[in-house]
A and B are shown apart, each in its own frame.
Chain A
Amino acid sequence: MAHREARIRAALRTVDGERVRWLLGKKGSLTTTGNVFGEIVSEQRYDVVVQKAASVELERNLLLQEMETGPKTIHELHETTNIPKTELVKHIIALKRWRLVEQVGMKGQSPQYVAVPRK
Protein backbone atom coordinates (compact mmCIF):
# COMPACT_ATOMS: atom_id res chain seq x y z
CA MET A 1 0.00 0.00 0.00
CA ALA A 2 2.85 2.37 0.84
CA HIS A 3 4.45 1.57 -2.50
CA ARG A 4 1.19 2.35 -4.29
CA GLU A 5 0.85 5.64 -2.45
CA ALA A 6 4.42 6.54 -3.40
CA ARG A 7 3.69 5.81 -7.05
CA ILE A 8 0.59 7.98 -6.96
CA ARG A 9 2.56 10.85 -5.41
CA ALA A 10 5.21 10.39 -8.09
CA ALA A 11 2.56 10.40 -10.80
CA LEU A 12 1.11 13.63 -9.47
CA ARG A 13 4.55 15.22 -9.49
CA THR A 14 4.98 14.01 -13.03
CA VAL A 15 1.73 15.64 -14.11
CA ASP A 16 2.84 18.88 -12.47
CA GLY A 17 6.33 18.58 -13.91
CA GLU A 18 7.69 20.92 -16.52
CA ARG A 19 8.83 18.30 -19.00
CA VAL A 20 5.55 16.53 -19.73
CA ARG A 21 3.49 19.70 -19.44
CA TRP A 22 5.71 21.36 -22.00
CA LEU A 23 5.47 18.38 -24.33
CA LEU A 24 1.70 18.28 -24.05
CA GLY A 25 1.40 22.00 -24.61
CA LYS A 26 3.55 21.83 -27.74
CA LYS A 27 1.68 18.98 -29.39
CA GLY A 28 -0.13 21.20 -31.87
CA SER A 29 2.93 23.07 -33.06
CA LEU A 30 5.26 20.06 -33.09
CA THR A 31 2.91 17.97 -35.22
CA THR A 32 1.81 20.73 -37.60
CA THR A 33 4.31 23.58 -38.02
CA GLY A 34 7.29 21.72 -36.57
CA ASN A 35 10.03 22.67 -34.15
CA VAL A 36 12.45 25.61 -34.44
CA PHE A 37 14.30 23.72 -37.19
CA GLY A 38 11.07 23.19 -39.10
CA GLU A 39 11.08 19.47 -38.35
CA ILE A 40 7.56 18.12 -38.13
CA VAL A 41 7.02 15.28 -35.69
CA SER A 42 4.49 12.64 -36.69
CA GLU A 43 1.63 11.83 -34.33
CA GLN A 44 3.01 8.33 -33.73
CA ARG A 45 6.48 9.65 -32.97
CA TYR A 46 5.01 12.30 -30.69
CA ASP A 47 3.05 9.66 -28.75
CA VAL A 48 6.19 7.57 -28.30
CA VAL A 49 8.14 10.60 -27.06
CA VAL A 50 5.47 11.64 -24.55
CA GLN A 51 5.00 8.08 -23.37
CA LYS A 52 8.72 7.72 -22.79
CA ALA A 53 8.96 11.09 -21.07
CA ALA A 54 6.06 10.25 -18.76
CA SER A 55 7.59 6.89 -17.90
CA VAL A 56 11.04 8.34 -17.21
CA GLU A 57 9.66 11.24 -15.18
CA LEU A 58 7.54 8.88 -13.11
CA GLU A 59 10.58 6.80 -12.23
CA ARG A 60 12.71 9.85 -11.47
CA ASN A 61 10.03 11.32 -9.23
CA LEU A 62 9.76 8.02 -7.43
CA LEU A 63 13.52 8.07 -6.85
CA LEU A 64 13.45 11.69 -5.72
CA GLN A 65 10.77 10.88 -3.18
CA GLU A 66 12.89 8.07 -1.82
CA MET A 67 15.94 10.26 -1.61
CA GLU A 68 13.98 13.00 0.13
CA THR A 69 13.60 10.68 3.11
CA GLY A 70 17.36 10.39 3.55
CA PRO A 71 20.59 9.32 1.85
CA LYS A 72 20.17 6.19 -0.25
CA THR A 73 22.52 3.97 -2.20
CA ILE A 74 21.70 2.56 -5.62
CA HIS A 75 21.14 -0.84 -4.03
CA GLU A 76 18.68 0.57 -1.49
CA LEU A 77 16.82 2.47 -4.22
CA HIS A 78 16.61 -0.70 -6.27
CA GLU A 79 15.16 -2.60 -3.33
CA THR A 80 12.42 -0.06 -2.65
CA THR A 81 11.47 0.88 -6.20
CA ASN A 82 12.25 -2.30 -8.19
CA ILE A 83 13.76 -0.18 -10.95
CA PRO A 84 16.64 -2.05 -12.65
CA LYS A 85 20.04 -0.86 -11.40
CA THR A 86 21.24 0.00 -14.91
CA GLU A 87 18.27 2.34 -15.31
CA LEU A 88 18.79 3.70 -11.81
CA VAL A 89 22.33 4.77 -12.61
CA LYS A 90 21.11 6.61 -15.71
CA HIS A 91 18.44 8.37 -13.69
CA ILE A 92 20.90 9.35 -10.97
CA ILE A 93 23.30 10.79 -13.57
CA ALA A 94 20.48 12.84 -15.08
CA LEU A 95 19.23 14.00 -11.69
CA LYS A 96 22.75 15.00 -10.66
CA ARG A 97 23.16 16.95 -13.88
CA TRP A 98 20.00 18.88 -13.09
CA ARG A 99 21.21 19.35 -9.51
CA LEU A 100 18.21 17.59 -8.10
CA VAL A 101 20.32 15.09 -6.18
CA GLU A 102 23.79 15.17 -4.71
CA GLN A 103 26.23 12.66 -3.36
CA VAL A 104 26.57 12.97 0.39
CA GLY A 105 28.85 10.14 1.38
CA MET A 106 29.65 6.50 1.10
CA LYS A 107 28.07 3.43 2.63
CA GLY A 108 30.75 0.78 2.38
CA GLN A 109 31.82 1.13 -1.23
CA SER A 110 28.53 2.52 -2.49
CA PRO A 111 27.93 6.24 -2.86
CA GLN A 112 24.87 7.64 -1.11
CA TYR A 113 22.63 10.17 -2.77
CA VAL A 114 20.13 12.59 -1.33
CA ALA A 115 17.57 14.86 -2.97
CA VAL A 116 18.39 18.54 -2.95
CA PRO A 117 15.58 20.30 -1.06
CA ARG A 118 13.14 21.99 -3.45
CA LYS A 119 12.91 25.77 -3.25
Chain B
Amino acid sequence: MSTEAAHHGSPTASEGEKAFDPKLLVFCCNWCSYAGADLAGVSRLQMPPYFRVIRVMCSARVDPEFVLRAFERGADGVLVAGCHPADCHYIGGNYRTRRRIALLKMLIQQFGFDPERLKLEWVSAGEGEKFQKTIVEFTNTVKELGPSPYRGGV
Protein backbone atom coordinates (compact mmCIF):
# COMPACT_ATOMS: atom_id res chain seq x y z
CA MET B 1 0.00 0.00 0.00
CA SER B 2 1.13 3.53 -0.59
CA THR B 3 1.34 4.16 3.14
CA GLU B 4 4.61 2.27 3.17
CA ALA B 5 6.31 5.21 1.52
CA ALA B 6 5.14 7.47 4.27
CA HIS B 7 6.06 5.17 7.12
CA HIS B 8 9.45 4.04 5.98
CA GLY B 9 10.40 6.65 3.44
CA SER B 10 13.81 8.16 3.86
CA PRO B 11 14.02 11.70 5.26
CA THR B 12 14.14 14.02 2.31
CA ALA B 13 14.45 17.72 2.89
CA SER B 14 16.11 17.47 6.27
CA GLU B 15 18.72 14.90 5.40
CA GLY B 16 20.71 14.18 8.46
CA GLU B 17 20.98 11.99 11.47
CA LYS B 18 17.41 12.53 12.57
CA ALA B 19 14.39 11.83 10.38
CA PHE B 20 11.95 14.67 10.00
CA ASP B 21 8.57 13.95 11.56
CA PRO B 22 6.17 16.58 10.28
CA LYS B 23 3.48 18.08 12.43
CA LEU B 24 0.26 18.19 10.47
CA LEU B 25 -3.02 19.69 11.50
CA VAL B 26 -6.21 18.47 9.88
CA PHE B 27 -9.46 20.36 10.20
CA CYS B 28 -12.38 18.07 9.41
CA CYS B 29 -15.96 19.13 9.02
CA ASN B 30 -18.35 17.29 11.30
CA TRP B 31 -20.74 16.08 8.63
CA CYS B 32 -18.52 14.64 5.92
CA SER B 33 -14.78 14.64 6.44
CA TYR B 34 -14.76 13.67 10.09
CA ALA B 35 -17.02 10.74 9.25
CA GLY B 36 -14.67 9.94 6.38
CA ALA B 37 -11.72 10.02 8.79
CA ASP B 38 -13.68 7.82 11.16
CA LEU B 39 -14.41 5.39 8.35
CA ALA B 40 -10.74 5.28 7.45
CA GLY B 41 -9.97 4.41 11.07
CA VAL B 42 -12.72 1.83 11.39
CA SER B 43 -11.60 0.29 8.10
CA ARG B 44 -8.11 0.05 9.62
CA LEU B 45 -6.53 1.85 6.71
CA GLN B 46 -2.90 2.59 7.49
CA MET B 47 -1.95 6.23 7.78
CA PRO B 48 1.19 8.03 8.91
CA PRO B 49 0.86 9.06 12.56
CA TYR B 50 1.93 12.67 12.17
CA PHE B 51 -1.42 14.38 11.96
CA ARG B 52 -3.84 15.70 14.55
CA VAL B 53 -7.50 16.04 13.66
CA ILE B 54 -9.62 18.94 14.84
CA ARG B 55 -13.31 18.56 14.28
CA VAL B 56 -15.22 21.66 13.29
CA MET B 57 -18.90 21.91 12.48
CA CYS B 58 -18.17 23.18 8.98
CA SER B 59 -14.99 23.76 6.99
CA ALA B 60 -16.08 27.40 6.85
CA ARG B 61 -15.57 27.49 10.62
CA VAL B 62 -11.84 27.40 9.96
CA ASP B 63 -10.96 31.01 10.51
CA PRO B 64 -7.86 32.25 8.66
CA GLU B 65 -6.46 32.98 12.10
CA PHE B 66 -6.55 29.25 12.96
CA VAL B 67 -4.38 28.47 9.98
CA LEU B 68 -1.94 31.31 10.57
CA ARG B 69 -1.70 30.50 14.28
CA ALA B 70 -1.10 26.84 13.47
CA PHE B 71 1.84 27.77 11.28
CA GLU B 72 3.07 30.24 13.84
CA ARG B 73 3.05 27.58 16.54
CA GLY B 74 5.04 25.11 14.54
CA ALA B 75 2.71 23.19 12.25
CA ASP B 76 4.46 22.01 9.11
CA GLY B 77 1.26 21.60 7.17
CA VAL B 78 -2.43 22.31 7.52
CA LEU B 79 -5.10 20.33 5.75
CA VAL B 80 -8.68 21.51 5.64
CA ALA B 81 -11.17 18.81 4.70
CA GLY B 82 -14.76 19.62 3.92
CA CYS B 83 -17.84 18.35 2.14
CA HIS B 84 -17.86 18.16 -1.63
CA PRO B 85 -19.18 21.26 -3.41
CA ALA B 86 -22.98 21.39 -3.21
CA ASP B 87 -22.99 18.83 -0.38
CA CYS B 88 -22.39 21.27 2.46
CA HIS B 89 -24.69 20.73 5.41
CA TYR B 90 -24.90 24.51 5.72
CA ILE B 91 -25.58 24.98 1.98
CA GLY B 92 -22.55 27.05 0.99
CA GLY B 93 -19.93 26.83 3.71
CA ASN B 94 -17.43 24.95 1.59
CA TYR B 95 -17.57 27.60 -1.15
CA ARG B 96 -16.52 30.19 1.39
CA THR B 97 -13.74 27.89 2.54
CA ARG B 98 -12.50 27.48 -1.01
CA ARG B 99 -12.13 31.23 -1.44
CA ARG B 100 -10.55 31.65 1.93
CA ILE B 101 -7.99 28.91 1.38
CA ALA B 102 -7.11 30.35 -2.03
CA LEU B 103 -6.35 33.65 -0.35
CA LEU B 104 -4.50 32.05 2.54
CA LYS B 105 -2.28 30.13 0.12
CA MET B 106 -1.22 33.47 -1.30
CA LEU B 107 -0.77 35.04 2.10
CA ILE B 108 1.37 32.29 3.55
CA GLN B 109 3.78 32.79 0.66
CA GLN B 110 4.36 36.28 2.04
CA PHE B 111 5.41 34.62 5.29
CA GLY B 112 7.91 32.45 3.46
CA PHE B 113 5.79 29.29 3.46
CA ASP B 114 5.33 27.13 0.43
CA PRO B 115 1.63 27.20 -0.55
CA GLU B 116 1.76 23.39 -0.74
CA ARG B 117 1.83 23.39 3.05
CA LEU B 118 -1.83 24.34 3.06
CA LYS B 119 -4.26 22.03 1.37
CA LEU B 120 -7.98 21.91 0.90
CA GLU B 121 -9.63 18.60 0.09
CA TRP B 122 -13.21 17.47 -0.27
CA VAL B 123 -13.86 14.21 1.56
CA SER B 124 -17.33 12.80 1.99
CA ALA B 125 -18.49 10.50 4.76
CA GLY B 126 -18.12 7.44 2.55
CA GLU B 127 -14.64 8.26 1.34
CA GLY B 128 -12.47 6.71 4.02
CA GLU B 129 -10.01 5.57 1.42
CA LYS B 130 -9.77 9.04 -0.06
CA PHE B 131 -9.09 10.45 3.38
CA GLN B 132 -6.29 7.96 3.90
CA LYS B 133 -4.86 8.68 0.46
CA THR B 134 -5.03 12.42 1.07
CA ILE B 135 -3.21 12.11 4.39
CA VAL B 136 -0.48 9.94 2.88
CA GLU B 137 0.03 12.29 -0.04
CA PHE B 138 0.01 15.38 2.14
CA THR B 139 2.47 13.84 4.59
CA ASN B 140 4.81 12.95 1.74
CA THR B 141 4.51 16.45 0.29
CA VAL B 142 5.33 18.09 3.61
CA LYS B 143 8.20 15.66 4.20
CA GLU B 144 9.62 16.68 0.85
CA LEU B 145 9.26 20.35 1.75
CA GLY B 146 10.99 19.84 5.08
CA PRO B 147 10.37 21.63 8.38
CA SER B 148 8.36 24.82 8.44
CA PRO B 149 10.34 28.08 8.23
CA TYR B 150 9.18 28.82 11.77
CA ARG B 151 10.82 25.57 12.91
CA GLY B 152 14.12 26.38 11.34
CA GLY B 153 13.39 25.06 7.87
CA VAL B 154 13.34 26.96 4.62
Enumerate chain A interface residues (CB-CB to B < 8 A): 4, 7-8, 11-12, 14-15, 20, 24-25, 27, 50-51, 54-55, 58
Contact = CB atoms under 8 A, between A and B. Distances in A.
21 contacts: A7-B110, A8-B69, A8-B72, A11-B68, A11-B111, A12-B68, A14-B107, A15-B103, A15-B107, A20-B103, A24-B99, A24-B100, A24-B103, A25-B99, A27-B99, A50-B106, A51-B109, A54-B107, A55-B106, A55-B110, A58-B107
Interface of B: 64-65, 68-69, 72, 99-100, 102-104, 106-107, 109-111, 150
Main DSSP-derived SS at the A contact region: helix
Contacts, number: 42
Given A11-B110, A15-B107, A54-B110, A24 B102 contact: yes
Listed from nearest, the 5 A-B pairs whose CB atoms lie closest are A15-B64, A24-B99, A54-B106, A8-B68, A11-B107
B100 A15 contact: yes
A58 B110 contact: yes
Contacts of B64: 11-12, 15
B108 to A, nearest CB: 8
A51 B100 CA distance: 13
Contacts of B150: 4
